[in-house]
Amino acid sequence: MIWFILLILAGFSLSIALMVKQRKSKREIMLFTVIVLLGVAQWISIFLEHTFKPNQWIIAFIDYIKQFIYI
């Protein structure tokens, strides 16, 4: 479990560093961060055998982002 968390943390840090170096928008970095954190929460809930249903969180976040993107 600790190796999984360290691997995710290393990959996340590298990805954020590359996104900042490529001068991606703050919205894109924020969206990436939220998706990664939801994925980590899902995997941890699987490891701990808890039920975690992020569907409502994802729906609320997408609706919130739509306000700024003008889709």
Q: What are 10-49's pLDDT values in tens digits?
A: 999 999 999 999 999 988 888 888 888 888 888 888 888 8
Q: How many degrees, rounded to 5, is the angle at CA 30 between CA 27 and CA 34?
A: 140
Q: What is the pTM of this model?
A: 0.65
Helix, strand or coil, per DSSP, at residue 28:
helix
Q: What is residue 71's predicted lDDT score, i.e. its pLDDT?
A: 52
Q: Cβ contacts of residue 31 below 8 Å, gap of 6+?
A: 65
- Total domains in the chain come to 1
Contact between 70 and 32 under an 8 Å Cβ cutoff? The reply is: no
How many angstroms separate the CA atoms of 49 and 43, rounded? 10
Who wins on pLDDT, 50 or 18? 18
**Which residue range(s) make up the domain with 37?**
2-69
- What integer pLDDT is reported at residue 51 of this predicted model? 75
